[in-house]
């Protein structure tokens, strides 16, 4: 049973480090140089390596599973 109510707020902060990105790339075989090659990334629009979008979006699951307003074991579909 959710106890989430209109107006409730919560935050989840996470700083990804290079080891996180490398592990994700190895596990999912996403070796796009924009995530791994600093020299290549300098010439991109981002000017530096970036975290995989899928890795960042995985935080939604962590947020919903652990947020105090939704209760234990919450899932989204």
Question: Is 30 domain-assigned?
Answer: yes
User: Residue 55 belongs to what domain range?
Assistant: 18-66
* Cα maximum dimension of the chain: 49
Is residue 58 one of the residues assigned to a domain?
A: yes
The model's pTM: 0.74
CA trace torsion 66, 70, 71, 73 (10° rounding) = -60
Torsion of CA 67, 73, 58, 16, to 10 degrees: 50
- Model confidence at 19, pLDDT cuts 50, 70, 90, reads very high
pLDDT digit string, tens, across residues 31-49:
999 999 999 999 999 999 9
What's the CATH code of the domain at 35? 3.10.129.10
Quote the CA–CA distance of 27 and 56 in Å, as a whole number.
Answer: 15
């Amino acid at each position: 049973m959710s106890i989430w109510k209109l107006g409730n707020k919560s935050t989840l902060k996470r700083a990804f480090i290079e080891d996180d990105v490398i592990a994700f790339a190895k596990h999912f075989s996403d070796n796009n140089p924009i995530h791994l090659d600093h020299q290549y990334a300098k010439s991109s629009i981002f000017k530096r390596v970036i975290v995989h979008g899928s890795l960042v979006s995985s935080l939604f699951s962590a947020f919903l599973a652990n947020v105090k307003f939704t209760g234990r074991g919450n899932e989204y579909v």
